[in-house]
Structure 1
Amino acid sequence: MNQRLTPGTTALLTIPPLLWAGNAVVGRMLQGTVPPVTLNFLRWLIAGLLLLPIAGWVLQARSGLWQQWRRFALLGLLGVGCYNTLQYMALKTSTPLNVTLVGASSPVWMLAIGALFFGRRPSRRQYFGAVLSIAGVLVVLSRGHWDVLLQVRLVPGDVYMLLATAAWAWYSWLLIRPGDPPRIRGDWAAFLLAQIAFGLGWSALFSGFEWGLTPATVQWGWPLAAALAFVALGPAILAYRCWGLGVQRVGPSLAAFFSNLTPLFAALMSAAFLGEWPHAYHAIGFLLIVGGIVASSRH
């Protein structure tokens, strides 16, 4: 695992935040159209069907998947079953500002879980990079006015996002642990489909509780179909592929700093949809976030 960034690795770790920002925007737009837990299930069901023709062999008895079912069941729970389910639930009850603020704690969770459970002690540069990168996120979210942050109030959605961020950090550390069958690890589509196979079971279980305990309804139509196509192809398949490669190259601690680009991209997307041009604080926030990435990656 090489801790130094290359242009290729930088691109791999930048694509997921861009797609995740779009995922957050779409998830917010779909509130009232489809229940959040059901949205996550449909998203991964479509992604699994798309991967089946090229990676369906992983579900066979001789693939090695079923001998490692406990590991893939855990990966499927954290990455497929929990993370986006909790995020979509957070977008239902929490403001975008609060959700993004809580999500910006990802580097802290990565460093803490790595130190507590995986024996990876953070360096001073990583601590400094975490502070610098989160400061950049706060500049963007506050629009350059720090008094905006004082108005933040926690709601249940913030707790959901906090749990989602912790689940993602744990998932990212598990990605670099050895033990996967070489044939599966060497095929990105098979590796993702193996997680989806178990994650769909978790998602179906959670969705069943949603329909049994809440007045859930779905408004079928072309807007929902287009949104599902995007979240299945982009934030699911493409983002997970790029994130997995990036984490394997530089490790979860450094990769976590790139996740802080998500609120920056979300701010730019919101500005574009509203017809507003980027402001000076966007540039300041971007420089701070990139500075955190550079500081944490240097030896």
Structure 2
Amino acid sequence: MKTTRIDATTLFLLTFPPLAWAGNAIVGRLAAGTVPPITLNLVRWIIAALLLAPYAWRGVMTHRAALRQHLAMLATMGLLSIASYNAFQYLALTTSTPINVTLIGASTPLFLLLIGACFFHERFRPWQVAGALLCLLGVSFVLMRGEPERLAHLEFVPGDLYMLAATITWSFYTWLLRKHRPDLPLPVLLLAQIVAGVIASIPVAAWELGRLTEPLQWSGKVAWILLYVGTVPSLLAYFVWDRAISRAGAQLPVFFITLTPLFAAVLSTVLLGESPHWYHGMGLVCIGAGIWLAQRR
């Protein structure tokens, strides 16, 4: 079997995105109570669009006919990924912890299997189903916080359920990307989805801001939060991830995604004082083992 040699550059490319996405969870938690979650998501992607537009504009003009042809699909992808997934994640972080959010997000392979089988007529092998069940077991440890009686009474933190919704939304988006990806360069595709997601987010953000009892307070902290979420996890991590896949292939990077909860646990302890618990470790082990089992050939 052919093996992939990981040099220092490839290792960095594989490791940086999970670190950036863990940082996004930490910053989202820091923003709770300071910037409303839907507004945070809207401003994040407006910043990303403004930074990406000069780089992608020539491609947009070149592929404008293809953009018109795939307008409905691009709008759907933007609604699912930009407007819904990221908004659900920030909503989750208002009541849940970054460790919980990233662990639940790491269970995406489970929902990919279920949604693929139910809506996209995909067939899967027994070990993939076994891997998905392990992921489900890992998520259960996190949701129950190590207390099985929570399952009987459905005493979940609302943020955990928001993150489940985010994971399901992202799974639908992933299948659409696999089955119906428009033939566009990555910068053009990303910009089109961002614009669609921003347009869909504006009415909801306006409603959210209208419900505030006090006006939004701008500060240096808010500026740094917006600058980070609008650049590092939104653009830089996406392009680094794309380069990592081009160097290492599509299979190996899946395992590095499981670093996101580990980075989130370390950053939560250092920056937020939220130490991980034993059930986080059990959840991570089950999810990691499930992903490894589902991805094996």
Measured in 1, the distance between the counterparts of 2:266 and 2:81 equals 26
Deviation at 1:115, TM superposition (A): 1.0
Which residue is 2:35 aligned to? 34
Structure 2 residue aligned with 1:72: 74
1:6-85 equivalence runs, <5 A: 6=4, 15-60=16-61, 63=64, 64-85=66-87
1:228 matches 2:226: yes
CA distance in 1, matches of 2:117, 2:11: 24
Partners of 1:129 and 1:286 in 2: CA distance = 13
Residue type of the alignment partner of 1:20: W
Please report how far the alpha carbon of residue 81 of structure 1 lies from its aligned counterpart in structure 2 after TM superposition.
0.5
- Note the C-alpha offset of 1:105: 3.9
Q: Within 2, Cα distance between the matches of 1:94 and 1:17?
A: 19
Q: What residue is the counterpart of 1:205 in the other structure?
A: 203
Q: Say which of 101, 105, 108 aligns to 2:110.
A: 108
Match for residue 90 of structure 2? 88
Q: Give the % identical residues.
A: 44
Deviation at 1:216, TM superposition (A): 6.2
Distance of aligned partners of 1:110 and 1:213 in 2 relative to their CA distance in 1, 3 Å threshold: same
Moved more, 44-53 or 280-289: 280-289
CA contact (8 A) 2:25 2:102 kept: no
What is the CA–CA distance in structure 1 between the aligned matches of 2:276 and 2:96, rounded to whole Å? 24
The 1:165–1:203 alpha-carbon spacing in structure 2 relative to 1, beyond 3 Å, is same
Kept in 2: contact 1:133–1:292 (CA 8 A): yes
Q: Is the 8 A contact 2:105 2:164 kept in 1?
A: yes
- Per-residue Cα deviation, 1:67-110 (whole angstroms, up to 9, x for no partner): 21101101110110111111111222345565456435422211
Number of aligned pairs?
A: 287
1:275 to 1:166, Cα distance in 2 relative to 1, 3 A: closer
Kindly provide the CA deviation profile for residues 206-256 of structure 1, in whole angstroms up to 9, marking residues without a partner as x: 2122123443632212222222221122211133335567789648xx977
Cα 1:80–1:19 shift into 2, 3 Å: same
Shift, 1:162, TM fit: 2.1
> For residues 282 and 70 of structure 2, what CA distance do their matches in structure 1 show?
46
Deviates more, 1:93-102 or 1:228-237: 93-102
- Cα distance in structure 2, aligned partners of 1:101 and 1:7: 28
Aligned CA-pair RMSD: 3.7
Shift of 1:172: 1.1
Change (3 A) 1:238 1:127: farther
The separation in 2 between residues aligned to 1:11 and 1:134, in whole angstroms, is 30
Conserved 8 A contact 1:136-1:284: yes
Evaluate the alpha carbon distance shift between residue 162 and residue 274 of structure 1 in structure 2; reply closer, same or farther with a 3 A threshold: closer
Give 1:271's aligned residue. 269
Give the partner amino acid of 1:224: V
- Preserved CA contact (<8 Å) 1:5 1:250: no
Q: Is the 8 A contact 1:264 1:282 kept in 2?
A: no
User: For residue 196 of structure 1, what is the aligned residue in structure 2?
Assistant: 194
Structure 2 unaligned segments of length 5 or more: list them.
none
Counterparts of residues 277-296 of structure 1 (less than 5 Å): 288-296=286-294
Cα offset, 1:34, TM superposition: 1.1
Structure 2 CA distance for aligned equivalents of residues 159 and 284 of structure 1: 20
Q: Any conservation in 1 of the 2:150–2:156 contact (CA below 8 Å)?
A: no
What is the aligned partner in structure 2 of residue 239 from structure 1? Answer: 237
> For the structure 1 residues 245 and 124, does the alpha-carbon distance in structure 2 shift closer, same or farther, using more than 3 Å as the test?
farther
Q: Tell me, yes or no, if structure 1 residue 157 matches structure 2 residue 147.
A: no
Q: CA deviation at 1:117?
A: 1.7
CA contact (8 A) 1:94 1:156 kept: yes
Q: Which moved more, 1:110-119 or 1:74-83?
A: 110-119
> Unpaired runs of 5+ in structure 1?
none
Shift in Å, 1:177: 2.0
Q: How far 1:120 sits from its partner (Å)? A: 1.8
Match of 1:176, SS state, is helix
Call closer, same or farther: CA 1:22–1:281 in 2, change over 3 Å.
same
Residues 30 and 280 of structure 1, relative CA distance in 2, 3 Å threshold:
closer
* Secondary structure, aligned partner of 1:93: coil
